[in-house]
Structure 1
Amino acid sequence: MALRDVLLSVAQTPHRLRRRALVTWTPAQELNEVRDRSGARMARRLEWYDLVGLGVGGMLGAGVFVTTGRVARDTAGPAVFASYVVAGVSALLSSFCYAEFAVRVPVAGGAFSYLRVTFGEFVGFFGGANILMEYVLSNAAVARSFTDYLASTCGVTEPNAWRVEVEAIAKGYNALDFPAVALILLLTACLCYSTKESSTLNMVLTAFHLLFFAFIIVAGFWNGSARNMVTPGGLAPYGVRGVLDGAAVVYFSYIGYDSASTMAEEIRDPARALPVGIAGSVLIVSALYCLMSVALCVMLPYTEITESAPFSSAFRDKAGWRWASNVVGAGASIGIVASLLVAMLGQARYLCVIARARLVPAWLAKVHPSTGTPMNGSARHQSRSSLSCR
């Protein structure tokens, strides 16, 4: 009897997989039946300004310090600010798509939930797997870069000075980064404590980071000259193609604007707060990136900009401010902490919703009653009605 049941189950496996792969969920089911698998519901404590802060904090990482110098020197010239404008418009249009989906399906799954509702479980599975890999690997890389910037702030020039090398592990993979691990554990503790308090911490870090950006912009214009923007080839020596190629590179600096959409379940007024928070953060960051790139290009001719640490080198070589490299390191460290905090916040929400879909262990979807809101009777009744009508 048992063997027959096993053989019958094996024979039915292709049909079950096909049915599971093609099944789609309605927004009503995502908001009720699927969400109720978490037990307690996420408390709605966030406002539109929390989303703006999370979006800005998620985007203002180290990307602008990495890409601006290389694009200005080799790809777009002084017109690198135009590359940021093109990339910003592209990110803004994408953010409108996220805002529309988030208002229609205000759950914590972000792109994963949108894929499940639109294309079904199969596409959602691959989307969810890619999203989780992206968050895990990028967060690890960002945490390791925090150690580099923090070391440079303290005047340590050797990148692996604060890492422990283990001989038993292959060369190149044997540098254990304990400061990065400590940062991850500290931020995890903050995120587990409360979403609202985590948003407040992000606000504080982002405020300091904005002051740091303001310092670079003001100091850059103060020590620069508009003559450095004029070249024999004009404002765009590499032409329109160079500006567009540069936009493709600097778009990396905008990664993170989608993190705000993962907070849709925790917003008091999603229909109003989500569009303002997602699009508003992209506009703010675009303005800052354009001003940063112009400040760099007025300080030095684009041919003299270095690819590595362009802002530190510009202050040291042009203004003679060697101490400014330490300020850049400190500001970048704060930005990395804020962007890592937002990324880990989004990663936890994605993991929760993917677990609701039972693509990973279901216990990962549970919301602790102390940080959530228990379901009321009407919500339970609505969930059962949704299940019976499916």
Structure 2
Amino acid sequence: MAAIEPSPNNIFSSNYLHSLSQTPHRLRKRMLATWTPDQELNQVRLRSGADMKRKLKWYDLVALGVGGMLGAGVFVTTGHVARSVSGPSVFISYIIAGVSALLSSLCYTEFSIGIPVAGGAFSYLRVTFGEFVGYFAGANILLEYVLSNAAVARSFTDYLSCAFGVNDPNSWRVEVDGFLKGYNMLDFPAVALIALLTLCLCHSTKESSMLNLIMTVFHVVFFGFIIIAGFFNGSTENLVKPEGLAPFGVKGVFDGAAVVYFSYIGYDSVSTMAEEIQNPSTSLPVGIVGSVIIVSTLYCLMALSLCMMVPYNEILDASFSMAFQKMGWRWASNVVGVGASLGIVASLLVAMLGQARYLCVIGRAKLVPSWFAKVHPSTGTPFNATLFLGE
């Protein structure tokens, strides 16, 4: 009697049920899987096809770090913290926050030298704690970049309108019916800025770095103008009026440090450029740590100059513009708008550089479609540089 062969449907069902039963084991194995630095540098990096071009030097990294941090944050947080949280001792809050940022930057420096790949914190966590922790961190980082870049690009319109003396930035936006109030304004200047920076990033990392270097130099000069104006036209008496240097006590100083730390966000983007540096072991420490020290110094002097120009209890919104108006320099409020706009462009450029490289390395790990990991053979930039969805 001939044996009855199983039908194709039965074979398929059996294989499917067997694979399904193995899912928990495979998922646990994948979640806990770790990679060695050597595998991350060689085996995983090959999934991008072409290599990123090593053209950046230490001064490019310093400029990228400074450009990434010197955004509009200092203009937003300094006045609020001085008036309501720390008082004139806000510059001490910046020192404390700067020390904290410096310690964090030393951690990034150590990891980036040991694992000089473009994945930044994602790669460090993936090698150390496994795929799940790396994916969780990578998803949060990408979400942070998408949402924060969108918000920063939108604030560009506010400061640009201030630079041109326009009181209502919404006059540069287009109102659309059918959306909730506050979400119904199309911001075409912000969209145009994102598109322009994306084209720049797709062209070449080195050219993008040079553009950032030029903008950062002008921005540092602008910060120097504010600092010098404050020191020469302000008074040390304002630092102790009306209730002393620290009217909110030690707690206020540390609470202020927690708030102003927001202004230091951006130095981590330097570590994502590790695959494009000519001498990573030397340039990365100089770029990351050097940029944090420079920015800390500028922020402390900015905060000190503001409190010398105006007593802390008289500081209002748009603090630096208001301080110059009290000095009789109304034209300087337009200069503040120009400087803040330039800072936003530089910080956006650096953030978008980092975002593209994070997405590239997450694609190498096959946690998103692998074509996100591809690198253009002629430009040496990730293909996903054109995919800044959400901004």
TM-score normalised by L of structure 2: 0.93
Alignment correspondent of 1:48: 58
What is the CA-CA distance between 1:309 and the residue it aligns to?
0.5
What is the CA-CA distance between 1:231 and the residue it aligns to?
3.0
1:4 aligns with 2:14: yes
Q: Using the alignment, how far apart are the partners of 1:232 and 1:153 within structure 2? A: 33
> In structure 2, the residue corresponding to 1:43 is in which secondary structure?
coil
Alignment correspondent of 1:387: none
CA contact (8 A) 2:321 2:332 kept: yes
1:312 aligns with 2:321: yes
Q: Using the alignment, how far apart are the partners of 1:266 and 1:31 within structure 2? A: 13
Alignment correspondent of 2:92: 82
Alignment correspondent of 2:127: 117
| Residues 1-390 of structure 1: pairs in structure 2 closer than 5 A | 1-306=11-316, 308-317=317-326, 319-372=327-380
How many residue pairs end up in the alignment? 371
Q: Using the alignment, how far apart are the partners of 1:230 and 1:134 within structure 2? A: 39
> In structure 2, the residue corresponding to 1:112 is in which secondary structure?
helix
Q: Using the alignment, how far apart are the partners of 1:165 and 1:34 within structure 2? A: 47
What is the CA-CA distance between 1:233 and the residue it aligns to?
3.5
What amino acid is the match of 2:191?
Answer: V
**CA offsets 1:255-281 (integer angstroms, 9 cap, x no match):** 001010000011111111111100000
What is the CA-CA distance between 1:172 and the residue it aligns to?
1.9
> In structure 2, the residue corresponding to 1:160 is in which secondary structure?
helix
**CA offsets 1:133-175 (integer angstroms, 9 cap, x no match):** 0000000000000011111111111131111111022222111
What amino acid is the match of 2:148?
Answer: S
Q: Using the alignment, how far apart are the partners of 1:230 and 1:168 within structure 2? A: 52
Q: Using the alignment, how far apart are the partners of 1:224 and 1:233 within structure 2? A: 18
> In structure 2, the residue corresponding to 1:161 is in which secondary structure?
helix
What is the CA-CA distance between 1:334 and the residue it aligns to?
0.2
The list of structure 1 runs, each at least 4 consecutive aligned residues, that deviate by more than 6 angstroms after superposition, is none
What is the CA-CA distance between 1:232 and the residue it aligns to?
5.0
**CA offsets 1:65-119 (integer angstroms, 9 cap, x no match):** 0000011111111111100000000000000000000000000000000000000
What amino acid is the match of 2:272?
Answer: T
Q: Using the alignment, how far apart are the partners of 1:232 and 1:59 within structure 2? A: 32
Q: Using the alignment, how far apart are the partners of 1:355 and 1:169 within structure 2? A: 34
Alignment correspondent of 1:386: none
CA contact (8 A) 1:103 1:270 kept: yes
CA contact (8 A) 2:158 2:169 kept: yes
What is the CA-CA distance between 1:4 and the residue it aligns to?
2.0
CA contact (8 A) 1:72 1:302 kept: yes
CA contact (8 A) 1:54 1:199 kept: yes
What is the CA-CA distance between 1:346 and the residue it aligns to?
0.2
> In structure 2, the residue corresponding to 1:8 is in which secondary structure?
helix
What is the Cα-based RMSD across aligned positions, in Å? 1.0
Q: Using the alignment, how far apart are the partners of 2:190 and 2:364 within structure 1? A: 30
What amino acid is the match of 1:343?
Answer: A
What is the CA-CA distance between 1:369 and the residue it aligns to?
0.7
What is the CA-CA distance between 1:234 and the residue it aligns to?
2.5
In structure 2, the gaps of 5 or more residues are: 1-10, 382-391
> In structure 1, the residue corresponding to 2:68 is in which secondary structure?
helix
CA contact (8 A) 1:231 1:237 kept: no
CA contact (8 A) 1:23 1:120 kept: yes
Q: Using the alignment, how far apart are the partners of 2:17 and 2:57 within structure 1? A: 54
What is the CA-CA distance between 1:239 and the residue it aligns to?
1.4
What amino acid is the match of 2:72?
Answer: A
Q: Using the alignment, how far apart are the partners of 1:30 and 1:109 within structure 2? A: 10
Q: Percent identity?
A: 74
Q: Using the alignment, how far apart are the partners of 1:180 and 1:192 within structure 2? A: 18
> In structure 2, the residue corresponding to 1:192 is in which secondary structure?
helix
> In structure 2, the residue corresponding to 1:42 is in which secondary structure?
coil
In structure 1, the gaps of 5 or more residues are: 374-390
What amino acid is the match of 2:258?
Answer: A
What amino acid is the match of 1:315?
Answer: F
Q: Using the alignment, how far apart are the partners of 1:17 and 1:162 within structure 2? A: 50
Q: Using the alignment, how far apart are the partners of 2:180 and 2:257 within structure 1? A: 37
TM-score normalised by L of structure 1: 0.94
> In structure 1, the residue corresponding to 2:116 is in which secondary structure?
coil
What amino acid is the match of 1:239?
Answer: G
